[in-house]
Amino acid sequence: MDKNSAIGFGLLVAMLIGYFTYNNYSQNKFHEQQRIDSIAYAKAHPKPLLDTTKSAVTNTSAAADALNDSLKKNLPPAFNGTAQEVVLENGKLSVKINTKGAFPSSAELKEYKTYSKEPLLLFKGTNNSMSLILPVNNGAIATSDLFFVPTQKTEANGDHSVELVADMGEGKKVTVTYSLPADGYMMQYNIRLNGMPAATLPLTWNLQGNSTEKDVINERTATQIYYRYKNNDDDYFTVRGDKKETLEKPTAWLGYRQLYFSTALIADEGFNKVNIHSTTQLDSNKIVSKSAFTFDLPIKAGTEQMFAMRWYIGPNDYKILKSYNINLDDMVPYGYGLFSFVKYINKWFLLPMFTFLASAVGNYALVLVLMTLIIRLCLSFFTYKSYLSSAKMRVLKPELDELREQCGDDKQKFSIEQMKLYKTAGVNPLGGCLPMLFQMPILLSLYYFIPTALPLRQQSFLWAKDLSTYDSIASWTSNIPVLSSVYGNHVSLFTLLMTASSLFLAIYNRNMTPQDPNNPMMKWMPFIFPFFLMGFFNKMAAALTFYYFVSNMLSILQQFIIQKFIIDEKKVHAQIQENKTKPPTQSKWAERIAEMQKAQADRGKQLPKKK
């Protein structure tokens, strides 16, 4: 743990200790006052004698119950109630709100199911709560200890709302209102205080994310916390084990992201002093992670002090998140870190193409095949250039072998003579590599796009029951050293097909591309690399490995057509021999350098000479 993390953790611990100490003190003081008031009330209102035919124990118990009932009736409603749940729902979202504490205890996404076809509850259970610390009589009390009276209402436009009121007596009242539109995932969340003036209110948000997919380990790997500051800077972190973070700047929204679903709190006034503690170190396979967010709410001054928030609970759908215009779409990981640039390819090219094909075709396996065809066609110019360069190298191979024999073990001399040959023949030795580099951004974009494509979730194809997770034709439960940690406890057939097609493509390329005998590593790397990737991709989405398999097969077909029917090696050889008879020409870059040098020399001539 570095210094900043230690300071943040220390502040969090100090704040929590201070909160619990202060809250316990206030609670004890409140209950002590209740006890004094109860005794005074009992003395002022003596009860009649009970039936003397009952036993002494029964008389004592009945008297105590009667006294407690009497005391409860005289307590403010916020301290005298029964916890229940009220449901706020529309066609997409159903939220259960606990009347003790007035916080959502569960949220169901009605249009989705878990991998096991059960109702999809993004969060549920006692570990989910939202609690404010209220200033009361120079003390404090948590809203999680108060009982609220609910009132539900449906507007003419179909919007639904529930208002929960906790009357604490003496003009002190807390009103919490939740509102859902007739259609959508964004819930409005308002807090209104009466008789409790405060500039800020501490709030604690506890969240327990439930597992919704096939592989909870994969879900935990994808669990991330996103946040956006009020100055429009944003950031995120992936929850690895136990993670703590302190945000020093006012924060506009806080988001919790699982593999395909997210929840986020958004505040126009912002959150201050945000502390985050998340963990995936859990024993239960039904829970992905637990998170605790603590922060201060700045309250608007006035007779009725208010704070307004919005609460998103829904899918990681890029278009839906984008529609709110507050950068919630950043929670869809289309590219980040070193490869953050590929998110623009995903947003502006792959997503529109995927959406169009899905609406036109419907079958998502066919959509992936069509995407592969379109992408291969778009990259065909670079592919042709790469294969043309390979053809030129094959034509030059006899001359290179002759040079190698002439130079013997003098590698430096061979390199010089080799470059001379390339220059006179008009061949670029990097001509086969550079076109391939232009294809890398597309391959990286697909690596991010396909595993996050929500429509692929629970779509079946052939033996794959769900294209969004790995396909499995065999599995085992026992832990096999090394194999289980690297490869996993299952066999993905699409990954095997991808590996086999990669090896076939490597063999085909080896026969079509001249090999450098002085570099044995490059000779064997194309055959080693697919096996290296096999362990990595065995745990990836079946849609991704299926795409790479189809792409490999199309590459083999494309290469065969280009080399057999488009590129004529005899014409290539004739062109090279013709190039040798021409005087060497400078490249565009060399011409540009020469022009700059000439311009600089001309400017030097025009400068006045020093005396």
Q: Are residues 70 and 181 in the same domain?
A: no
The answer on pLDDT for 162 being more than 90 is yes
* Cα 251 from Cα 270, distance rounded (Å): 5
Considering the chain, what percentage of its residues have pLDDT values greater than 90? 44
Q: What is the pLDDT of residues 385-409, one digit of tens each?
A: 777 777 777 777 788 778 878 887 7
Is residue 21 pLDDT above 60, yes or no? no
Q: Looking at per-residue confidence, does 519 or 329 come out higher?
A: 329
pLDDT-derived band at 608 (thresholds 50, 70, 90) equals low
> Is residue 471 helix, strand or coil?
coil
Is residue 199 a part of any domain in this protein? yes
Q: Is residue 529 situated within a structural domain?
A: yes
Give yes or no for residue 523 having a pLDDT over 70: no
> Can you give the pTM of this predicted structure?
0.76
Asked if residue 265 and residue 348 are part of one domain, the reply reads no
Burial of 260 (0-12, 13-18, 19+ CB in 10 A): buried
Query: Mean of the pLDDT values across residues 250-259?
Result: 94
Q: Where does a domain end: 53, 77, 101? A: 77
What is the band of 284 on the pLDDT scale with cuts at 50, 70, 90? confident
Distances, alpha carbon 310 to alpha carbons 190, 199, 250, 261, 441, in Å:
8, 20, 17, 17, 36
Asked, for residue 457, whether it belongs to a domain, the answer is yes
What is the reported pLDDT for 596? 67
Residue 23 has pLDDT above 70, yes or no: no
- Total residues found in the chain within this entry: 611
Residue 456 pLDDT: 94
Q: Which residues contact 284 (CB under 8 A, 6 or more apart)?
A: none
pLDDT digits (tens, 9 = 90+) for 423-432: 777 777 666 6
For residue 593, being part of any structural domain is answered with no
Residue 592 lies inside a defined structural domain of this protein = no
Question: pLDDT value at position 492?
Answer: 92
Q: Are residues 39 and 157 in the same domain?
A: no
* CA distance linking residue 113 with residue 120, whole number of Å: 5
Averaged over 149-173, what is the pLDDT? 90
Position 212 pLDDT exceeds 70: yes
Instruction: Please spell the DSSP secondary structure of 313-325, one letter per residue.
Output: EEE--HHHHHTTS
- For residue 528, give its domain range: 342-581
Among 31-35, 393-397, 464-468, 526-530, name the one with the lowest average pLDDT.
Answer: 31-35
In a domain, 607, yes or no: no
Shared domain check, 354 and 325: no
Determine the Cα–Cα distance for residues 4 and 246; give it in Å rounded to an integer.
Answer: 9
Residue 401 confidence (pLDDT): 79
Residues 196 and 138 in one domain: yes
Residues 157, 297: one domain?
yes
pLDDT computed for residue 8 by the predictor = 41
Mean pLDDT comparison of 414-418, 436-440, 446-450, highest-scoring range: 446-450
* Same domain as 424, residue 382: yes
Is 177's pLDDT higher than 50? yes
Confidence of residue 562 (pLDDT cuts 50, 70, 90): confident
Assess whether pLDDT exceeds 70 at residue 313. yes
pLDDT higher than threshold 60 for residue 15 = no
Does 37 have pLDDT greater than 70?
no
Q: Is the pLDDT of residue 297 over 50?
A: yes
Supply the CATH number for residue 246's domain. Answer: 2.70.98.90
Instruction: Report the C-alpha gap between 316 and 391 in whole angstroms.
Output: 46
Q: Of 112-121, 169-178, 303-312, 351-360, where does mean pLDDT reach its minimum?
A: 303-312
Classified as helix, coil or strand, 485 is helix
Confidence check: pLDDT of 72 > 60: no
pLDDT of residue 592: 63
Residues 59 and 181 in one domain: no
Q: Are residues 284 and 193 in the same domain?
A: yes
Instruction: Tell me the pLDDT band of 1, cut-offs 50, 70 and 90.
Output: very low
* Alpha-carbon torsion (460, 461, 467, 471), positive or negative: positive
Q: Which of 47, 77, 107 is a domain's end point?
A: 77
- Written as six digits, the tokens of 265 are 């709190």
Instruction: Look at residue 17 and tell me whether its pLDDT is greater than 50.
Output: no
Using CB atoms within 10 A of its CB, is residue 208 exposed (0-12), middle (13-18) or buried (19+)? buried
Same domain for 131 and 103: yes
Q: What is the pLDDT of residues 327-340, one digit of tens each?
A: 999 999 998 888 88
Boundary of a domain, candidates 286, 311, 332: 332
How much is the mean pLDDT over the chain? 80
Look at 236 and 136; give whichever has higher pLDDT: 236
Tell me the per-residue pLDDT of 459-500, one tens digit each, with 9 for 90 and over: 999 999 999 999 988 888 888 887 777 788 888 999 999 999
Q: How confident is the model at residue 111 (pLDDT cuts 50, 70, 90)?
A: very high
Give the tokens for residue 57. 């124990």
Number of domains in the chain: 3
Please answer whether residues 289 and 364 qualify as being in contact, where contact means their C-beta atoms are separated by less than 8 angstroms: no
pLDDT of residue 433: 67
Q: How high is the pLDDT of residue 405?
A: 81
Q: Are residues 377 and 438 in the same domain?
A: yes
Is residue 550 exposed (0-12), middle (13-18) or buried (19+ Cβ within 10 Å)?
Answer: buried
Average pLDDT over residues 195-201: 84
- Is 111 within a domain? yes
Lowest-pLDDT choice from 132-136, 482-486, 535-539: 482-486
Region class of 302: left (phi > 0), else alpha (psi between -120 and 50), else beta: left
Average of per-residue pLDDT across 586-600: 58
pLDDT of residue 114: 95
Please check whether residue 115 lies inside any domain of the structure.
yes
Residues 319 and 465 in one domain: no
